[in-house]
Structure formats: structure tokens, C-alpha cells
Structure 1
Amino acid sequence: MQTTNPFDDDKLREECGVFGVSATDGAAALVALGLHALQHRGQEAAGITTFDGANFHTHRAMGHVAGNFDRDDVIRALPGTVACGHVRYSTTGETALRNVQPLYAELSTGGFAIAHNGNISNAMRLRRELVRRGSIFQSTSDTETIIHLVATSNYRTLLDRFIDALKQIEGAYSLIVMTPEGMIACRDPLGIRPLVMGKLGDAVIFASETVALDVVGATFVRAIEPGELVIVQGSEIRSIRPFAPMAARPCIFEWVYFSRPDSIVDDHSIYSVRKAIGAQLAIESPVDADLVIPVPDSGTPAAIGYAQQSGIPFELGIIRSHYVGRTFISPGDKVRHLGVKLKHNANRALIKGKRVILVDDSIVRGTTSLKIVEMMREAGAAEVHMRIASPPTRHSCFYGVDTPEREKLLAAKLDLGGMTGFIHADSLAFISIDGLYKALGEAKRADVRPKYCDACFTGDYPTTLTDHDEGSEVDQFAMLAERVI
């Protein structure tokens, strides 16, 4: 089975989105709508857990939200006024139903359901210690580590046990937790992964992005702050901050690629920021050409910004079909190769004889960019120039992004000239790290700690990486084969 999308195979993938609602009738149906809006954050599997005041109910399934949670029988089997959901994209680890979230366990304090966006960078060490102490894991997910830490904590109350567990983990996490006592939403002390709060009447809603609030008709209240826990019990909402204050380091790739363009992150319009990135890219790396063409769909806002700044016309030189399934069964290499054009095809009449600038959000392995450039040349482009709306991706991510091993990252292996030759472009340029910060209205200075986590570009990881540091990078990715988000 082969993907028909030649552009999605070579992207960094955000591995999950979370959505939770407290105190409303039909909570499961509302969560299903919210997960639809977050489908771009995880397309491999989805799950919803509800609580009806006495019992927890869970439905988890492989595949998209649509087809799994748009059935009346499924929603009817998820009664309750409190619910949380999760969409998932796994890392290099196992793809299996047992890893689909929310994860659920019966603890001494009652039922405990958890949905997690992020990655625990010391999960393997914690897992080994917990197994030695007698814990029996039911999944290969690092999220399950949190459940066992809560279960084995010596603190008395569930909230104190949960805080005790969080203080033992490293890395990135935005969590929604359901217990018989209520719902808890929290972010890691650096705020690496996003989480926002909204209101819909008396209902309190938590989501990975504001767009999910928009879709269900909720009003955005505020972002959950880094290191903050928000506890909802009935109509009572309270906030605690059990961690020492730290300078936040949210993931900069939320603005570059992960979030939907119609979301707002930390008071920034994603769409406006991406246009600003494209404009800055045009300032830094101009080229004499006839057309600016976005690589659909993630490159579109940056391409608009590039075109507006440069004065070069913006055109849709690559046409995407929205009516093709995700896979294509091919009996041979020839038909498989032709299958990639089912979703994206060059606008030949527009491109022939033109000097084109292709704008994309990133280059990972480089295989996608090579396909795109070849597509343009086959359509008769006179010149093909590639402009990338992020700096070169030279380092792996350990915070909830599916990044290849470093030796598979094109920018980690080749210099700019080598990369240009690899993708067969006439020229290639990336926005500078300083330019990226400038587009976000910030200044990146060597003597000041950066405002964002930009480790995939700079190698400046904001936390310790225990599992990685205890072995080589190769060993780390071998361990990752046993864990998923």
C-alpha cells in the first residue's frame, strides 16, 4: 500500500491533538467535533473517553475521526457530561490499538483517563525502574508511564499523586486527565506543546488549538500557562502552579507548520505569522522569476507573503485534488509512480516556459522537494527555485514530533550547495533563524535565551534528554521503536 501524496511523506509530523469538555450534555459528540478540527495533528488513530458520574466509557479506533465517531451508535455508547479525546500520529514505534489514547486505568482512587500531546524524554528510564518495582505495562506508549507514576506515588490525594508524577518526568507534555473528581488540564513548565481553554455556556473546554474552539462554537478564554494545572470540578475552576517558574520555550514549529492557519497561538495569528515569514524570506533571498507557487497546502500563506513582498505574481501552479483517499494499491512500480499525481498535479499551461519560485514550509529528507522540482521541470518550467519558510532542519526532535534520525536529515548531511544539487533546483534558500524570529516579532540574540524551542534548527534543547544521553543517537531511536505518542 502506497501513499498517493508525494508531499506528505517527507514532513515533520505533530503527533497528537487533545480536546476535553467538562459539564455539558452530549459531551462525546462535542469532543468528536473538536477532534475533527484537530485531525491535522494526528491521522493514524482517535479515541474518546467519557464519564457519566458512575462509570467511564471509552471508544478507540484506528483511522480518522470521520468514519469512527460520526456514527450514532458510537456516540450513544459514550454517555456522560465529561469527556476527553485524542487524535494520534505515532513515532517510529508500534502502530496498535493498545497505544491509542485516551489511556485508561483503574487506580486505588478510581478511574483515571489521560490524553497526551508531547513526548517524555526520560520515559525509558522511568519505565525500566517501574517494571523492576512490579509495574505491568499494557502499551508501549510513554504516556502510560504517567499512569504508573501516579499509581505508585506515596502521596494521599490524587492531585498530589499527579503532581508527584509530573515532577519526575522530563520533556514536553500537554495533558487532559479525567478522574471521578473532575478534569485536569496542564502544560509542562516550558510550555513546549500548546493547550488552550474556552467556554461554551457553563461548559469548560480544553484543546490543542483555538480552531477546535471555533468549530464547536466556544469562546476562547486564554492559553493554559506553562507549568499550570487547571482543575475543573463541577462549576468550580481553580488553577495551581506547582513548578518553579521557568522561561517558556514553546515549539516554534507550531507557527511554521503544525497549527492550522486559522488558529491563534500565544496571541499570534498563525496565518499572519506565516505570511510574515514569507515576506522576510523574500527580503533575505530574492530571485528574479515569473511566478511564486506554493507547495500545497502548508506552503500557501508563506508563498502569499513572499509574492506580496517581492511583487512577483502568486499562482496556483500545483493543483491538489481533495477527493482522493489516503492510499493507493499498486501492482507495480510504474502504476505506483503514476499514483502520486492523483492528489497533486502541475498546472502545466501556467508553468510552461516560466521561471518559478516554489515556497514550502520545510525540507526534511529532501525526497519531497526533489519530486516537486521534477514535477515542475516535467511541466516545462524554465527555472525552478526553492524557498523554504524555516531554517534548515539539522537536529532531531525529542518533544513529540516524528523526526527522522539525524543522519537522514538532508541538512545534517549536506551544505546548501549539496542540498541544491540533491533536489535538482536552480537555487535553494532557507529563512535565517534571525529572520524567523523577526517574523514572529522577536529578536534572537546570542546572549539571551531564545523565546522558543528551536532545537530542530539549532540543536539547543531546552531540557535534559535522559534516554538519549544514556546511549548513542542510534540507540535512542532503537528505543523509540518501543514507544509511541
Structure 2
Amino acid sequence: MHDALPSASRDLDLDGDTLREECGVFGIFGHPDAAAITALGLHALQHRGQEAAGIVTFDGARFHAERKLGLVGDSFSSREVIERLTGANAIGHVRYSTTGETVMRNVQPLFAELDAGGFAVAHNGNLTNGLTLRRELIREGAICQSTTDTEVILHLLARSRKPRIVERFLDAIRALEGAFALVCLSNKKLIGARDPYGIRPLVIGELDGRYILASETCALDIIGARFVRDVENGEVVVITEGGIESLRPFPAVPERPCVFEYIYFARPDSIVNGKSVYEARKNLGAQLAAESPAEVDVVVPVPDSGVPAAIGYAQAACVPFEMGIIRNHYVGRTFIQPTQSVRELGVRMKHSANRGVIAGKRIVLIDDSLVRGTTSVKIVRMMREAGAKEVHFRIASPPIKHPDFYGIDTPEREKLLAATHDLEAMRAYIGADSLAFLSIDGLYRALGFAGRNAERPQFTDHCFTGEYPTGLTDLGIETPKRLSILAEAD
């Protein structure tokens, strides 16, 4: 659910025809410049969410919070704001909402005063039993102040009867279902956690001898921090003045990180689960060239996310790579008017044809994914109007046929083009001379595996396969061993 206040990224996407970024989290413990470092880390993670940003710090006596709608740079670049965020411990969050409206009460990190002290939480992911938990909590007397699933975690902590804050935290996350990467701050601890399958990423870094938690390694690079390791799937790390402790509160299951981190979400300069995102995307393009070659004169990426795959495709196919589409990075929402005639022109404000490298050429367009297909229609038309002789389309991922419930804001299944059209119908719809997708086995081969093992896939790939790794309790598909949040823990 979203309210009427759009983000800059949503304005540019006139038809909802992209995969939405998720959220980004950051935390640092014991550094005198904690707030400023956190703001820089959030800048690096801005691609994961542009609707809102927040930072919570602790100075040894009090918690301080600043939460703002909009981009990090709009609110956290001034000295006055950073100086209000005193303390050596901090956590931060950038948000794209998949649960809850874009209003101030939903901006994270969320904070609560518990009998054990203050506690703040920042969450990347989506709980597939969040609504069910919320209803149960409200029936038992809980008063919710937000509409985000993250607030459920604070209520679960408050209800736990365990004596220590870490034990309460473990109690709380054992009740969660779905995808989560959490960064939390208490009076004396910085806590990080990943869901049992490790669907959402979280890494550990080190700066000046102090530990950091972040969604991606690019947030470490911007502050000159050293990458230590990934937080493992199902792991909880507790950082204190004494160092770092690792806990394993969940039964062991094979790791299944979200494959879309490699296809679309993560920044190209990040390393996710030991793999370079940039190299992974180039490999996707190379594999696509091997599977679906095209007799063309030039390879053209759909910028910006299609660029690495297009480079890989061009190199593998030995066809020249050209920036045949130029993206305008400076289109703001004030340019967008709610009239159909201007909406039709909107794609030209974001993308314009580089006529000099397109006219008279047979081109192949490379994009990372295809969702509704409406933007692809406009780009193909733009290429033809710029004089392209032929326009072929190649997608560096398999067809998206199923919605996501783990933090990616995909449309309903009936609005996914590949869920309602066969390949020829999709080609005709977007107006291309040919259309092809990367195969599911090709996706796995490009990422370093022999193929997709049907008995135990290596990634969370449900958007392509329909196989969801967790239960979907809020949709009426419950996990067989979900713990009751209201039962007293053993």
C-alpha cells in the first residue's frame, strides 16, 4: 500500500514498468563520527530506496532520531542535522515501501522504549506473515503506531519474557516468516540478523577498529571501510565493546539469496555473497548471447541497469557496443504533469535516442528484465523513429511470471506480461522484430553453477519459477512449523 506522495524514482517510472528497489540498512558501533558515517553509507545505498531516510544514534544516555521523506542528500547533508545526532553508535535506513504508506510514521529506523531500555530497528525485506502477526498482536492489546511490518518486531520484543535484550530479539525473529535483513541498536549493542535463507543481503565491515553492518559492500567503499565477511543466512551478530558474537537461532537450511540482487538491485560495484555484481551481469549478457544470438550491427543497452549485460553480450557476440539510448539523470517530478499527452512524452524525458548510432542499423536492445512491457513498447518505437532498420530485444533474465512477496514491489500476476502472454504475443506487443529471454539454466550457469537443481535451487528465484522458499501465511499458505508469537517460549 502506498500513499499519493511519489518518490523521484517513481515519477520517472510512469507506468510502474520496473522492478522496485527494496530498502537499505547501515549501522556502526563505537565510532565518534557515527552519524556522519551512517549518512555517507546511506548515500551509497540510495539506489535501494528513495522515498525516505532515517538515522538513530545513541550517545550513552539518550537516543536521537532524524527521519525525513525524500533523498538522503536532501536531509542529511547539513552540519546542523548531523550535530543533533550525537553518539558513537548509529543505525540508518533508506526506504522504498512495500508494506505501509510513505508517511513519516513509517520512516525507519523505528524506535521504542522497552523495559530493558531503548531499541531501534531498521529492516530490509518483507515479512510474509507480517499482517497475521499484526492482527494477533492487536487482538492481544497491542497499539500499533505505523502500518509497516517492521513495527511487529518491536512488539514481539516487548512481549518476550526473556531477561536479556538479545534473548528477546531471538524470541522475536523466530516468529518471523519471509525475508529480512535487520540492523538494530540497543543501549549497549549493535545487532544484525539475516533470515534463515539469507534472501536479503547484509555484510560486516570494519573502520578504525569499529564494526559496521550494511546492505552492500558499496556502503563500505564510500567510507573507506574494510570488508570483513557476509552475515550468513540465519545468523545473528551481536556487536559490543567486547567485539562481535555470532548466534545461530534457526535450524540450518541451505542458503538461497535473492537472485535479483545480481540481476537488478545491487549496485554494480558491490560484491554480493562473494560475487562481483558487475561481472555477474556481464556474464548474464554473455550467456544470453550464446543462447539467443541476433544478426545485428550494434548492441544497445537500455540504461542504466542494462549496461553491464549489454557489454557482456557485445563482447561474446563480437558486435560493437554503442550507447544508442541516452538517459537524462536530471528529470525531476516537477516536470511530470497528470495528463495523458504529457505522460506519453515522459519516456522521451527519461530516455532519448542517439540517432547517430542507430539510424540505418540493425540493433539489439539489452535490458535486465521485462515486467509490464509498457516502457519496452515506447523504447522500441523510439528506436524505429530514430531510423533503426531492425529492432531486436533480448532480456538478461528469464520471464517474470510470478509476483514477489519478499521486498520487491512487483505488480500482481495478471499485470506481468510474461504471465499472460506467450513469447510471440510479447514480441508483438512490444513491437520488436524478435524477442528472447535468458533461460533459467542459463541464469544459473552465468552465476557460476552447472544449472538449476530442481531439488535444491541455489537462489530464491520464485519470480521465474513460482517456487517460494518460505510459507506465505498472509496469503493463506502457512508454514507447517510456524511458532505462535503468543505462546510462551520454552
Distance 1:4 1:14 in 2: 14
Q: Counterpart of 1:424?
A: 431
The whole-number CA distance in structure 1 between the counterparts of 2:213 and 2:40 is: 13
1:44 paired to 2:51: yes
CA deviation map 1:113-150 (0-9, x unaligned): 00000011001111111001110000000011111011
Per-residue CA distance 1:39-60 (angstroms, 9 max, x = gap): 0000111000000001100100
Distance 1:191 1:42 in 2: 20
2:10 matches 1:10: no
Residue type at the aligned position of 2:304: D
The alignment status of 1:70 with 2:77, answered yes or no, reads yes
Task: Measure the CA separation in 2 of the matches of 1:430 and 1:77.
Answer: 50
Question: What is the rounded CA distance, in whole Å, between the counterparts of 1:92 and 1:180 in structure 2?
Answer: 28
SS at match of 2:39: helix
2:194 matched to 1:212? Answer: no
User: Whose relative contact order is higher, 1 or 2, with alpha carbons under 8 Å and at least 6 apart?
Assistant: 1
The residue matched to 1:30 in structure 2 has which SS?
A: helix
- Report the CA distance between 1:332 and its aligned residue: 4.1
CA spacing shift, 1:43–1:80, aligned 2, 3 Å: same
CA contact (8 A) 2:24 2:124 kept: yes
Distance 1:4 1:162 in 2: 38
Tell me the equivalent position of 1:398.
405
Q: Which of 288, 292, 314 is the aligned partner of 2:321?
A: 314
Take 1:337 and 1:250, find their aligned partners in 2: how far apart are those partners? Answer: 37
Of 323, 327, 331, 1:324 maps to: 331
Contact kept, 8 Å, 1:4 with 1:342, in 2: the verdict is no
Q: Structure 1 CA distance, aligned partners of 2:26 and 2:202?
A: 9
CA deviation map 1:383-434 (0-9, x unaligned): 1111001000000111111111111111110110111111111111000000
CA contact (8 A) 1:262 1:271 kept: yes
Question: Alpha-carbon deviation of 1:352?
Answer: 1.1
Identity of aligned residues (%): 61
- 1:299 matched to 2:306? The reply is yes
* Aligned residue in 2 for 1:477: none
Number of the residue aligned with 1:221: 228
In structure 2, the partner of 1:110 is: 117
1:35 matches 2:54: no
Partner secondary structure for residue 67 of structure 1: helix
Cα 1:333–1:405, aligned 2, differ >3 Å: closer, same or farther? closer
- Aligned CA RMSD, in angstroms, stands at 1.6
Q: What is the CA–CA distance in structure 1 between the aligned matches of 2:162 and 2:307, rounded to whole Å? A: 51
* Structure 2 counterpart of 1:482: none
Q: Secondary structure at the match of 1:341?
A: helix
Q: Which amino acid aligns with 1:337?
A: E
Contact 2:347 2:375 in 1 (8 A): no
Question: What letter is aligned with 2:116?
Answer: T
What is the count of residue pairs matched by the alignment? 471
Matched, 1:256 2:276: no
C-alpha contact (below 8 Å) 2:452/2:458 kept by paired residues: no
Question: Hey, what's the Cα distance between the residues in 1 that align with 2:365 and 2:104?
Answer: 39
Shift of 1:331: 6.9
Secondary structure, aligned partner of 2:474: helix
What's 1:145 paired with?
152
Aligned match of 2:243: 236
- Which runs of no fewer than 5 residues in structure 2 stay unpaired? 1-5, 479-490
Q: Which residue type is aligned with residue 83 of structure 2?
A: R
> Aligned partners of 1:346 and 1:7: how far apart in 2?
18
Q: Is the 2:35–2:55 Cα contact (8 Å) retained in structure 1?
A: yes
- Rounded to whole Å, the distance in 1 between the matches of 2:198 and 2:477 is 25
The answer (yes or no) to whether the contact 2:203–2:217 under 8 Å persists in 1 is yes
Q: Deviations over 1:29-83 (max 9, x none)?
A: 1000000000000011100000000110010011000111001111111101000
1:28–1:271 Cα change, 3 Å: same
Corresponding residue number in structure 2 for 1:283: 290
Deviation digits for residues 330-387 of structure 1 (CA, Å, limit 9, x no counterpart): 3743344334323320001221111110000000111111111111111111111110
Q: Distance in 1 between matches of 2:432 and 2:41?
A: 40
Deviation at 1:327, TM superposition (A): 4.5
Q: Distance in 2 between matches of 1:460 and 1:294?
A: 30
Find the aligned partners of 1:447 and 1:316 in 2 and give their Cα distance. 38
TM-score by length of 1: 0.94
